[in-house]
Structure 1
Amino acid sequence: MPLPTTAREVRLTAAPAGLPAPEHFALVETPLPAPGPGQVLVRNRAFLVFPGLRTLIGGELAGLPLPPIRPGQALFGPALGEVLAAPADGPLRPGDLVTHLHGWRDHAVGDSADFTPVDGSLPDPVALLSPGSAGYGGLTRSAGVRAGDVVLVTGAAGAVGTVAGQVARLLGAARVIGTTGSPAKAARLTAELGYDAVLVRGAGPIREQLAEAAPDGIDVLLDTVGGDQLTAAVDAARPGARFALVGALAGQLAPDRLGGSSPAVVDTFRLLSQGVTVRGFRGQDHPDLEAQWRRQFGDWLRAGRITFPWTAVAGLDRAPQALPQLIGGRTFGATIVEV
């Protein structure tokens, strides 16, 4: 069959003054170059919508390895695709499934090194789009969950939190508490994902809800939010508590910020007096983690000990609405566009 000569991609059309909305994005058709020497042509099946795009669009990128996204440029991110054409002397062949970072389009051309073959480590290739390694790494490398720990996961209904709560339990946590933005999500977290209690933002001070859910305090925090939820966690810390910071959504998704800062007020005296360890988790500091996570994730999935919750956005035509839906809290688990 002839190779496609055009592709559709989602572009940023204007820099938002606040949070991105559907009108800031457009689906456009663009010429698709034929793959050159050493290049691969892929037809995408699905891609992940991740909140870090808000930071890339806002332009506050200090310390980040990813480039900004300017008006007129296409969005990008983790994707799963099928090879249509590949170099004859390379490892890939037409029909192979690959992961890559050329999401937000239906076809992509790039250097062979940009595409990683799907190795069968997970029973469903779409699960390769899960950012669950961040939660796993935070719990195992930064916080070191121990048997009997009381664990708090902020942003529990997000792509990281829906998996991390299950991981904490599998690592031996005695009690797993989450936070979320709606009673409906809280009900799903307790009924479907094994959370013992879920604090609901807006249902009263988080500090008071946490004191009721964990009257003796918490041993571990996996924080994807920051802000007043981090403040409350510090107040609830037991002696020797370990905090792993893997996200900062309170500031990243604030309408009056640009996505690259997330101030929080914490009681430093309590950090000192309780001997609390606070570590920011960065995946690039643990180059072996992704392979370890995939093996463990695959074993747990096949054994039915863990699930991968995700919200499907059906079709590339709906992709311009996907990031605003995520920011608005209208998805559960990972948000994935099915191309």
Structure 2
Amino acid sequence: MVWFSQFIRIENAMPTHAQEIHLIQRPAGAPSAALFALKETPLPKLQSGQILVENLYLSVDPYMRECMDEEWELGAPLEGRSVGRVIDAGDSGLDVGQLVFHREGWRSHAIVPAAEARILKEYSGVSASAFLSLLGGTGLTAYVALTRIAKLQAGEDLFVSAAAGGVGSAVAQFARLMGARRLIGSTSSADKARYLTETLAYDAAINYREQDLAQALAGAAPDGFDIYIDNVGGKHLEVAIRSIREHGRIAWVGAVGQYNNPEQAELPRNLYDIVGKSLRLEGFLVRNYRQLQDELESFAVPQLQSGRLQAQETLAHGLENMPQAFVDMLTGRSQGKMIIKL
């Protein structure tokens, strides 16, 4: 096999250094690529139970913006979802060449405790990058939102904010396969609105930067809708509460609209309508649903192999381009899931 011969070669010339992206300054408002720096650091020797992974794909996610404020250390490697190949298994019991998922992102190589690496199945016709999009945290978020939080039933109508992003693109495709009737999405540009209707088969797309959100949603869904998948918060949530049908369900995934300035975030003024309309609003963290990974793969892999599902990904190439890709994702310059290919 080609990859096996490559890893024989790699073992004979094991890397001694890794390239890493470090955060060197905390943001004040919207971040820029200048807040990050590319560093080269020596790789320590493996300790018992550790493996050395050559990263293949790195995930770029909205939650990382919040990590920049306090969670991430300055001048240190950063956390992030990653898919890579084991190039040194040490005494871990894993095999060289195995495909693994781990969270030592923003770097070319990572030393990972074997207990913290998840061995990935390799499916015919499915790219390894899918484990960061439709088969990864992005796809699992969409799957949980639809099946466990909103509990979508065939024939129901949905409204989705940030609909051209990773979660929004997964929601649209999953919902269609689950029998949703009408899909309405909001996004931030005319190009992305076309992407929603032409590629993702949304029935209606709202460009909230050029249209009045409330009026456009009322026009697209004059009789309301049953489910709202919220990736934005703020004004979007307020308008959705106003338009959703009685006994509707809201799955709150994120609030990307307020990550840069949470103190100045626009809050919904009609939360009491949740009582008046007997709505259910529930937020969740996908990490609390990891036990559904096999269920997600059983649902999605056959559809990926048949072509009924398409992993909507924007691939940026090279670790050095990851900071700009992160900024582009936050500012809406990507479609689908943003991923770095190394």
The TM-score, its normalising length taken from structure 1, stands at 0.92
2:257 pairs with one of 250, 253, 261: 250
Aligned position for 1:62:
none
Distance 1:233 1:98 in 2: 39
Distance 2:170 2:162 in 1: 11
Q: Does residue 28 of structure 1 match 2:36?
A: no
1:241 pairs with one of 248, 255, 273: 248
Deviation of the 1:74 alpha carbon = 1.9
What amino acid does structure 2 have at the position aligned with 1:183?
A
User: Does the CA contact (< 8 Å) of 1:121 and 1:294 recur in 2?
Assistant: no
Aligned position for 1:150:
157
2:213 pairs with one of 185, 206, 217: 206
Distance 2:73 2:312 in 1: 31
Deviation of the 1:135 alpha carbon = 1.1
Deviation of the 1:80 alpha carbon = 0.9
User: Does the CA contact (< 8 Å) of 1:143 and 1:220 recur in 2?
Assistant: yes
User: Does the CA contact (< 8 Å) of 1:153 and 1:179 recur in 2?
Assistant: yes
Unmatched segments (≥5 aa) in structure 2: 1-11
What amino acid does structure 2 have at the position aligned with 1:7?
A
2:107 pairs with one of 105, 108, 115: 105
**Is 242-251 or 122-131 further displaced after alignment?**
122-131
User: Does the CA contact (< 8 Å) of 2:58 and 2:83 recur in 1?
Assistant: yes
1:333 pairs with one of 311, 331, 336: 336
Distance 1:79 1:109 in 2: 12
User: Does the CA contact (< 8 Å) of 2:182 and 2:203 recur in 1?
Assistant: yes
User: Does the CA contact (< 8 Å) of 1:225 and 1:250 recur in 2?
Assistant: yes
Distance 1:257 1:274 in 2: 28
Aligned position for 1:119:
121
Unmatched segments (≥5 aa) in structure 1: 60-67
Deviation of the 1:282 alpha carbon = 2.2
Deviation of the 1:269 alpha carbon = 3.9
Three-state SS of the structure 1 residue aligned to 2:226 is strand
Distance 1:219 1:19 in 2: 34
Aligned position for 1:167:
174
User: Does the CA contact (< 8 Å) of 2:167 and 2:336 recur in 1?
Assistant: yes
Three-state SS of the structure 1 residue aligned to 2:314 is strand
Three-state SS of the structure 2 residue aligned to 1:74 is coil
Aligned position for 2:185:
178
CA RMSD of aligned residues (A): 1.6
What amino acid does structure 1 have at the position aligned with 2:219?
E
What amino acid does structure 2 have at the position aligned with 1:248?
A
User: Does the CA contact (< 8 Å) of 1:18 and 1:257 recur in 2?
Assistant: no
Q: Give deviations 1:81-114, integer Å, cap 9, x for gaps.
A: 1111113451x11111111111111111121112
Distance 1:178 1:77 in 2: 28
Q: Does residue 38 of structure 1 match 2:49?
A: yes
Deviation of the 1:73 alpha carbon = 1.8
Q: Give deviations 1:256-279, integer Å, cap 9, x for gaps.
A: 338xx9552142342222211111
User: Does the CA contact (< 8 Å) of 2:233 and 2:255 recur in 1?
Assistant: yes
Deviation of the 1:284 alpha carbon = 3.7
Aligned position for 1:134:
141
Q: Give deviations 1:155-178, integer Å, cap 9, x for gaps.
A: 101111011111111111110011
2:327 pairs with one of 305, 308, 324: 324
User: Does the CA contact (< 8 Å) of 1:105 and 1:316 recur in 2?
Assistant: yes
Distance 1:211 1:82 in 2: 49
Q: Give deviations 1:285-324, integer Å, cap 9, x for gaps.
A: 3342222112211122112221111111111121221211
User: Does the CA contact (< 8 Å) of 1:151 and 1:220 recur in 2?
Assistant: yes
Distance 1:140 1:187 in 2: 27
Distance 1:167 1:316 in 2: 31
Three-state SS of the structure 2 residue aligned to 1:218 is coil
Deviation of the 1:121 alpha carbon = 5.0
User: Does the CA contact (< 8 Å) of 2:161 and 2:232 recur in 1?
Assistant: yes
Q: Give deviations 1:228-286, integer Å, cap 9, x for gaps.
A: 1111100001111011111111112x3x338xx95521423422222111111222433
The TM-score, its normalising length taken from structure 2, stands at 0.91
User: Does the CA contact (< 8 Å) of 1:222 and 1:244 recur in 2?
Assistant: yes
Three-state SS of the structure 1 residue aligned to 2:131 is helix
User: Does the CA contact (< 8 Å) of 2:230 and 2:251 recur in 1?
Assistant: yes
What amino acid does structure 1 have at the position aligned with 2:338?
T
Judging changes above 3 Å, is the alpha-carbon distance between structure 1 residues 229 and 89 closer, same or farther for their aligned structure 2 residues?
closer
Distance 1:285 1:313 in 2: 29
| Count of matched residue positions in the alignment of Structure 1 and Structure 2 | 326
**Is 311-320 or 40-49 further displaced after alignment?**
311-320
1:230 pairs with one of 237, 240, 252: 237
User: Does the CA contact (< 8 Å) of 2:48 and 2:91 recur in 1?
Assistant: no
What amino acid does structure 1 have at the position aligned with 2:38?
L
Deviation of the 1:197 alpha carbon = 0.5
* Percent identity of paired positions between Structure 1 and Structure 2: 35
What amino acid does structure 1 have at the position aligned with 2:201?
G
Structure ranking higher in helix proportion = 2
